[in-house]
Amino acid sequence: MGRLDGKVAIVTGAASGMGLATVKKFVAEGARVVLGDVQGEGARIARELGDAARFVLTDVSREADVEALVAYAVQEFGQLDAALRGCASTPGRSGGGSWWAGCPGVPPEPDRRGDPTRRPS
Ligand SMILES: NC(=O)c1ccc[n+]([C@@H]2O[C@H](COP(=O)([O-])OP(=O)(O)OC[C@H]3O[C@@H](n4cnc5c(N)ncnc54)[C@H](O)[C@@H]3O)[C@@H](O)[C@H]2O)c1
């Protein structure tokens, strides 16, 4: 019996590093997880993890993307118990714009989602 049996989580920055490690641990502990990332690679990872995982292409700097990620988790799994921000956007901290906490190498362009296979440099 896992420590997260019956729980549902979303994880951003889920295709790599801390986010991916968290996804694997959550699934191993029995949670169902929706992965969010700008990298389409997250779809392959979710497929490999099986029924407990889903992927939503998500740019955390876009509020609508984050809302869609949350809505998808509730729609697919019926609830949402936890969120891990492996890559998180914090608005309004830099002269009224946005800056990115936990998104290593993310360039400051307003739209980073054009090529979901591109890795941050
Ligand atoms: N790796 C570590 O050991 C470690 C330890 C402590 C803290 N941290 C911190 O954790 C954070 C993540 O580090 P990491 O090593 O996992 O980095 P990483 O580069 O391996 O992973 C970041 C993920 O975020 C995704 N991402 C980038 N921009 C995004 C966006 N706009 N929307 C959604 N996803 C986006 C990337 O595609 C990538 O999959 C950093 O702030 C880092 O400083 C890392």
Question: Where do the domains of the chain lie, and which CATH numbers do they carry?
Answer: 8-101 (3.40.50.720)
User: Residue 83 pLDDT more than 80?
Assistant: yes
User: Residue 97 pLDDT more than 50?
Assistant: no
103 Cβ neighbours under 8 A, 6+ residues apart: 13, 60, 87, 88, 89, 120
Q: Determine whether the shortest distance from the Cβ of 112 to ligand 1 is under 6 A.
A: yes
83 Cβ neighbours under 8 A, 6+ residues apart: 9, 10, 11, 12, 70
Band the pLDDT of 104: cuts 50, 70, 90: low
Out of 13-17, 86-90, 112-116, pick the least confident. 112-116
Report the nearest-CA residue for atom 22 of ligand 1: 13
Q: Determine whether the shortest distance from the Cβ of 58 to ligand 1 is under 6 A.
A: yes
Read off the pLDDT of each residue in 20-47 and give the average, rounded to a whole number: 97
Q: What is the DSSP letter of 99?
A: E
In the reported structure, the alpha carbon of residue 16 is separated from the centroid of ligand 1 by a whole-number distance in angstroms of 7
Band the pLDDT of 87: cuts 50, 70, 90: confident
In the reported structure, the alpha carbon of residue 77 is separated from the centroid of ligand 1 by a whole-number distance in angstroms of 25
pLDDT of residue 61: 83
**Identity at 84, one-letter amino acid code:** L
Report the nearest-CA residue for atom 2 of ligand 1: 18
pTM metric for this prediction:
0.82
Q: Which candidate, 57, 59, 81, places its Cα nearest to that of 7? A: 81
Average pLDDT, the chain: 82
pLDDT of residue 120: 43
**Identity at 14, one-letter amino acid code:** A
Q: Determine whether the shortest distance from the Cβ of 54 to ligand 1 is under 6 A.
A: no
pLDDT of residue 28: 98
Tell me the H-state helices in 4-40: 17-28
pLDDT of residue 106: 55
